[in-house]
Every structure is written in structure tokens, then in C-alpha cells.
């Protein structure tokens, strides 16, 4: 018979909240759609560097638990334990603290309070006080990697983790690599020039020290695209030819688009042959098709449109389990060129999806806005949908595009003498921007087209 728990549920929860682990780090995962993160993380675990593995498997356990998959969550932690045995001290102790903290939380969430207490006792045995200076850089590194692989908006928090860790171990190459990735993520989310220059400096050093780190190379290529085109293209070519990492190939596709849409389509198709289960490759392919069609000569547009519709329809039919909402939205836009009613049918079907993330809801609203603007010729209906998209506090390319379109509408109103309508749009934009995480005045400016994806 299992002994009774020594603590009340409230006392246990208080102690669990004080732990350093994935359940207390506020990773910023959208609980409506952890499957997207799980699919991305599977690629990260297979292709990112060895020293990240304990952190990434912990993220995987957290996501599985968020998805009510406790069995899979425990399996991820078991894999993390096996990998952690290969680490040297004190990194191994830091890894064990995180792993057993995660175990405690999963048992607690399963209402297995005695098991949770047992794991908590294990944590306390490993480290009676969490002020053990030797463990700080390794705990911060695990937290930093966990933050940076989830989403770009975590870049600044991840940067703080790696900078603190480097204060203790300034010559640690793994920590420098982590800081470089965090700086890139921070730039990707904020588009601040000072973040770009610092990220370039770190990534160039990482590439010199780790010539097989293709993630660092493709991120560096993205940063250099506007300042050193020749070097950026060289890095992209190297990544396409040498890397088998589907995330690197996806980034390569996105970076090729401004220079050769045909090559971007071909790279995406080759990458999908290697890894047909990576959903973001399908999104990159859809974007490549879009730009290829837009830039094509008029005599070629019909052929490209037919090929894109046929291929994207096949993808949607063959992969009902993958998170490919952007592919469906692009398919709707292509179909709408031939049959606006069919485009509307796809959009209405997507509108009924209960599990849309805020980012995908934002993209859907933008697609509705484009449909109303160009198919129905209704500026008022389009404006309402663009506002719906912009009011969702996720700084994405779709949101930026909606903001640009709303500002253009305001300019038209002002030119026609309707100052009140223009003022209402500007007031709305200002109010909506104040709800963005890390809001600053620069986000209200028309920041132009960006050739590189935000996430």
C-alpha cells in the first residue's frame, strides 16, 4: 500500500512552484495547439547539437503533458535521464534537478501526490539549496535553450539566461552558441537593428568555431541578406548542399524566395522528399509557389497556378494530421483566382476550427480581408477583418501587412477629406499596439516588407 502524502496539495504546489524546471519557466506555449511545437521540436531533437538534448527532451515532456499525453511525457523524461548520464559534473546534477522537477510536476498533474513528493525529495537531496553557484550556468543554459526553441518572442529572456551563464563560464562555446541563437531570435521578433548587429557578431564567431553548425549559418545568412548579399547566398548554398536538417532547409527556401522563386520551389520539393513529416516545409513550399506565381510572366501564370493548386490540394489530402493551416490559406487564395466561391468555402471551413492558435486566427482574418478587398470589392468588410487580425497581439508578417493596409486606407480617407475615418484607424492601430508584448513606439511605424519569416 502506498504511504500517505506528507504534505497537503497546497503545500506541495507551493514547493513545486519554486522549482527550476520546464513547468515553472513560462515558456509561452499556446495551450490550444501544442502539436505544432511538438512537430518542430521533433526536428530540433534530431538535428540540434548534443549539449541541448536534456533541455529539448524536457520541453518535449512539457508539451506532451500540455497535450494530456502523460505516458509520452514520462517517456521523454526517461530519454532525458539516459542522455544526462553522459554529461559531466556539474552539468549532470543540473540536468537531474530539471528532470526530477519535471517528474514531480507531471505526477502532481496526474493527482499522484506521493510520487510528486518523492521526486521533490530527490531534487532536495541533489541540491539542498538552489544557490549552488556551480549549478547556475548549467541551469541557465537549460532554461535558455528551452526558451529559444519554442518561439522567437522568448529571445530576450533566453539572452538573459545565456548572458548570466557566460558570466560564470565566459569561454564556454556551447553557451556562446546559445547566446547567438537567442540574439537571432530576439532580432527575428523585434527587427531591431542593434539586435541584428550583435547577433551577426556572435553568429560569425559560432560559424568559425563550429563549421558544421548549419543552423548558425542559415541564421547568419538571414541577417546578412540586406547587408552582404553575396555572403548570404554563399551560406544558403552551403546549407542546401550540406545540411540534412529540415529546419535549415526550410529557412533556406524562405531566404531563396527574394532571389529565385523557381529555385525556392525546387529546394522545398527536395527537402520534402527527405522529410515529408515536417509541416513547416509545406508552408515554405506554399509561400514559394505564391511568389513564383506573382513574379511569373503573364503567359506562365496559368501553368504555375494549376501546378500549385494540384500540389497543395494533394498535400492537404495526404496530411490531415499535420499542422498546415497556412498551406490551406494559400490554397484558398490560389483557388480564389479561379473560383471565389470555393475560396470562401475553404475559409468558412477553417473558421469552424476550434483549435486555431492566435497566430493562425490572425492569418485567417487577413485572408478574409484580402478576399473581401479583391474578390468582393468591399473595403469596409476588408477593413473590419484587417482590424480583427491586427488586434491579435502577435507581431507577425501577417499583422504587419494588415497594419500597412489599414494605414493606406487611412491615407485614402484623409485624401478624400474624411479626417474622422482616418483618425479612427490611426487610433485603433495605436491602441492595438499597446497590447503587444514588449510594446514600443517603433512598432506603430510602417516598417516595410521583410523578406524573412518571423517564426
Q: Is 17's pLDDT higher than 70?
A: yes
**Percent of the chain at pLDDT above 90?**
70
Give the Cα separation of 192 and 196 in Å (integer).
7
pLDDT tens, residue by residue, 65-94: 999 999 999 999 999 999 999 888 888 999
Give the Cα separation of 213 and 210 in Å (integer).
5
pTM: 0.85
Give the Cα separation of 309 and 288 in Å (integer).
13
Neighbours of 276 (CB within 10 A): 14
pLDDT band for position 50 (cuts 50, 70, 90): low
Give the Cα separation of 334 and 324 in Å (integer).
16
CB neighbour burial string for 76-86, b if at least 16 within 10 angstroms, e if fewer: bbebbbebbee
pLDDT band for position 60 (cuts 50, 70, 90): very high
pLDDT band for position 313 (cuts 50, 70, 90): very high
Q: Please count the helices (runs of H) and the strands (runs of E) in the chain.
A: 22, 0
CB neighbour burial string for 160-188, b if at least 16 within 10 angstroms, e if fewer: bbbbbbbeeeeebebbbbbbbbbbbbbbb
Q: Is 170's pLDDT higher than 80?
A: yes
CATH number for the domain running over 9-150: 1.25.40.10
Mean pLDDT for the stretch of residues 270-296:
92
What is the reported pLDDT for 33? 67
What is the reported pLDDT for 72? 96
Torsion of CA 338, 406, 155, 225, to 10 degrees: 70
Task: Please check whether residue 240 is in contact with residue 284, taking contact to mean a CB–CB distance below 8 angstroms.
Answer: no
Q: Is 5's pLDDT higher than 70?
A: no
What is the reported pLDDT for 14? 93
pLDDT tens, residue by residue, 333-358: 999 999 999 999 999 999 998 888 88
Q: Is 189's pLDDT higher than 90?
A: no
What is the reported pLDDT for 37? 86
| 19-28, 112-121, 194-203: least confidently modelled range | 194-203
Separation in Å, CA 226 to CA 142, 230, 277: 32, 10, 32
Cell numbers for 451: 523578406
152-242 to CATH, choices 1.25.40.10, 3.30.70.1560, 3.30.230.70, 1.10.420.10: 1.25.40.10
What is the reported pLDDT for 446? 28
CATH 1.25.40.10 range(s) for the chain read: 9-150, 152-242
What is the reported pLDDT for 127? 79
Sign of the dihedral defined by the CA atoms of residues 76, 81, 85, 87, in that order: positive
pLDDT tens, residue by residue, 405-451: 999 999 999 999 999 999 999 999 999 998 886 554 333 222 333 33
pLDDT tens, residue by residue, 353-372: 888 888 899 999 999 999 99
Q: What is the DSSP string of 310-371?
A: HHHHHHHHH-TTS--HHHHHHHHHHHHHH-HHHHHHHHHHHHT-TT--HHHHHHHHHHHHHI
Mean pLDDT, the chain, rounded, equals 89
CA geometry: angle at 165 spanning 162 and 168, to 5°? 150
Cell numbers for 167: 558570466
**Percent of the chain at pLDDT above 70?**
91
Mean pLDDT for the stretch of residues 155-178:
93
| Residue in 222, 218, 216, 185 with CA at minimum distance from that of residue 202 | 216
Mean pLDDT for the stretch of residues 388-410:
94
Amino acid at each position: 500500500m502506498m504511504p500517505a502524502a506528507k504534505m497537503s496539495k497546497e503545500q506541495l504546489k507551493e514547493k513545486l512552484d519554486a522549482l527550476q524546471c520546464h513547468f515553472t519557466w513560462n515558456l509561452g506555449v499556446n495551450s490550444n495547439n501544442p502539436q505544432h511545437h511538438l512537430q518542430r521540436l521533433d526536428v530540433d531533437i534530431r538535428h540540434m547539437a548534443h549539449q541541448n538534448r536534456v533541455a529539448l527532451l524536457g520541453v518535449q515532456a512539457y508539451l506532451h503533458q500540455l497535450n494530456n499525453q502523460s505516458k509520452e511525457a514520462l517517456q521523454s523524461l526517461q530519454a532525458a535521464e539516459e542522455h544526462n548520464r553522459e554529461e559531466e559534473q556539474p552539468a549532470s546534477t543540473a540536468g537531474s534537478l530539471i528532470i526530477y522537477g519535471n517528474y514531480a510536476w507531471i505526477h502532481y498533474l496526474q493527482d499522484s501526490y506521493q510520487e510528486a513528493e518523492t521526486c521533490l525529495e530527490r531534487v532536495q537531496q541533489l541540491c539542498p539549496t538552489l544557490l549552488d553557484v556551480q549549478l547556475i550556468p548549467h541551469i541557465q543554459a537549460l532554461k535558455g535553450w528551452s526558451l529559444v526553441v519554442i518561439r522567437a518572442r522568448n529571445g530576450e529572456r533566453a539572452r538573459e539566461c545565456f548572458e548570466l551563464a557566460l558570466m560564470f563560464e565566459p569561454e564556454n562555446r556551447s553557451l556562446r552558441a546559445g547566446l547567438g541563437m537567442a540574439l537571432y531570435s530576439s532580432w527575428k521578433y523585434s527587427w531591431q537593428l542593434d539586435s541584428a548587429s550583435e547577433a551577426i557578431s556572435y553568429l560569425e564567431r559560432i560559424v568559425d568555431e563550429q563549421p558544421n553548425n548549419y543552423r548558425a549559418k542559415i541564421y547568419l545568412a538571414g541577417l546578412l541578406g540586406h547587408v552582404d548579399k553575396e555572403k548570404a547566398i554563399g551560406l544558403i548554398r552551403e546549407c542546401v548542399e550540406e545540411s540534412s536538417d529540415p529546419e535549415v532547409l526550410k529557412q533556406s527556401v524562405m531566404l531563396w524566395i527574394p532571389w529565385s522563386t523557381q529555385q525556392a520551389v525546387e529546394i522545398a520539393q527536395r527537402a520534402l522528399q527527405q522529410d515529408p513529416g515536417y509541416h513547416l516545409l509545406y508552408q515554405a513550399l506554399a509561400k514559394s509557389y505564391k511568389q513564383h506565381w506573382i513574379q511569373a510572366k503573364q503567359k506562365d501564370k496559368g501553368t504555375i497556378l494549376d501546378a500549385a493548386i494540384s500540389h497543395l490540394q494533394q498535400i492537404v489530402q495526404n496530411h490531415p494530421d499535420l499542422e498546415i493551416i497556412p498551406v490551406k490559406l494559400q490554397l484558398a487564395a490560389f483557388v480564389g483566382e479561379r473560383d471565389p466561391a470555393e475560396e470562401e468555402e475553404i475559409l468558412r471551413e477553417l473558421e469552424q476550427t476550434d483549435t486555431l492558435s492566435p497566430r493562425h486566427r490572425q492569418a485567417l482574418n487577413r485572408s478574409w480581408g484580402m478576399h473581401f478587398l479583391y474578390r468582393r470589392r468591399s473595403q469596409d468588410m476588408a477593413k473590419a477583418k484587417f482590424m480583427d487580425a491586427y488586434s491579435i497581439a502577435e507581431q507577425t508578417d501577417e499583422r504587419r501587412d494588415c497594419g500597412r493596409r489599414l494605414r493606406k486606407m487611412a491615407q485614402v480617407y484623409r485624401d478624400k477629406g474624411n479626417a474622422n475615418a482616418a483618425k479612427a484607424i490611426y487610433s485603433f492601430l495605436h491602441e492595438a499596439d499597446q497590447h503587444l508584448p514588449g510594446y514600443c513606439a517603433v512598432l506603430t511605424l510602417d516598417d516595410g516588407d521583410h523578406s524573412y519569416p518571423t517564426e
